[in-house]
Amino acid sequence: MIKGITSVAAIASDEGFDRLNSLFRALGFEEGKGWNDSSGRGAAFLAPVGNLELITGRAPAVPGLLVEVTQLDAVYAAVQGWLAAQSAENVSAAKLTEVAPTHWNSRLFTVDLAAGLQLGFWESENPLHNRPIAVEGDLSAAGKKFAIVVARWNAVITDRLLQGSLDALHRSGCAKDDVEIVRVPGAWEIPSAARTLAESKRFAGVITLGVLLRGETAHYEAIYTEVARGIGQSQQETGIPHGFGVLTCETLEQALDRAGLKAGNKGFEAAIAVIEMASIQGKLAGKN
């Protein structure tokens, strides 16, 4: 039933009113409907999230007008830029503090725009602060079994992908005995083995690893399409998460880069994705 909340702040002077309006516009606030008549002026500024804090007893050591932001340092630079664009008189009247930590797990800076008009900008140090409630997976593989299907073709690449996947699993708490590795001739055979493992229902997830190089086969696209389709179909029809670590590259050098040389290890990334999806599925099913 409640749609929003508005806090009305009286600004003591026209000078402060104009400065505050100018700063909010410079920072990109969405403007609401204002008014201007013989009794005074009003300006509305809208934010995605509003908050009304009620206090009693000791007054808080923060400005009465606080703006929560992300990327506080970028906002600080924007306020500095806005001040630099003001007249010399306005700059001398304004007072900008440095960004500093608070005792309430955040960072804050303030700017005095006029006598009695202080504005504070802050950012929470808690990465989950004000995030919408959502089901998210944990990166814990402890107590879960995982299977890895890896192609022998281009072993110089696939062995690197395999080591990346094992590294991710073991770092996430998976015991060595809880990982089953199945080697198949090439990428074409991966979906069949992955499907068999998934249908056994013995594993929380299946990681698929292989590599296809365009220069080695004239039917590169056809093979890749069927491999991707087979792995995706296995995941959808069995309900077991599958990590996709089948590289598709133009050259051997590109594949080496994606197997840990320069651009990260796609085997590691595929394993991390499977661990998270296994956790999500368990939570959705009410198992953890």
31-89 confidence digits (pLDDT tens):
888 889 988 999 999 888 888 888 888 878 888 899 999 889 999 999 999 988 886 65
User: Which residue from 24, 116, 18, 122 is spatially nearest to 76, judged by alpha carbons?
Assistant: 122
- Extract the tokens encoding 105: 């797990």
Catalytic residues: 219
The verdict on whether residue 189 carries a ligand-binding annotation is yes
The verdict on whether residue 214 carries a ligand-binding annotation is no
Burial state string for 157-196 with b = 16 or more CB within 10 A and e = fewer than 16? bbebbbebbbebbeebebeeebbeeeebebbbbbbebbbe
The structural domains of the chain, ordered by start, are 14-124 (3.10.180.10), 146-284 (3.40.50.960)
- Which pLDDT tens digits describe the chain residue by residue (288 residues)? 777 888 888 898 888 899 899 999 999 888 888 889 988 999 999 888 888 888 888 878 888 899 999 889 999 999 999 988 886 655 555 689 999 999 888 999 999 988 888 999 999 988 777 666 778 888 899 999 999 999 999 888 999 999 999 999 999 999 999 999 999 999 999 999 999 999 999 999 999 999 988 875 667 788 889 999 999 999 999 999 999 999 988 788 888 887 877 667 999 999 999 999 999 999 888 755
The verdict on whether residue 47 carries a ligand-binding annotation is no
CB 188 within 8 A of CB 230: no
Alpha-carbon gap, residue 123 to 100, rounded angstroms: 11
The verdict on whether residue 122 carries a ligand-binding annotation is no
The verdict on whether residue 196 carries a ligand-binding annotation is no
pLDDT for residue 217:
61
pLDDT for residue 122:
93
The verdict on whether residue 6 carries a ligand-binding annotation is no
- Extract the tokens encoding 191: 């979906």
pLDDT for residue 238:
96
Other C-beta atoms within 10 Å of 39: how many?
7
The verdict on whether residue 244 carries a ligand-binding annotation is yes
pLDDT for residue 288:
57
pLDDT for residue 257:
82
Q: DSSP characters for the chain?
A: -----------S-HHHHHHHHHHHHHHTPEE---EEETTEEE--EE-SS-------SSPPSS-SEEEE-SSHHHHHHHHHHHHHHS-HHHHHH-EEPPPEE-TTSEEEEEEEEETTEEEEEEEES-TTTTPPP--------TT--EEEEEE-TTHHHHHHHHHHHHHHHHHTT--GGGEEEEEESSGGGHHHHHHHHHHTT--SEEEEEEEEEGGG-TTHHHHHHHHHHHHHHHHHHH---EEEEEEEESSHHHHHHHBTTSS-BHHHHHHHHHHHHHHHHHHHTT--
CB 214 within 8 A of CB 249: yes
The verdict on whether residue 187 carries a ligand-binding annotation is yes
Alpha-carbon gap, residue 111 to 23, rounded angstroms: 11
Length of the chain, in residues: 288
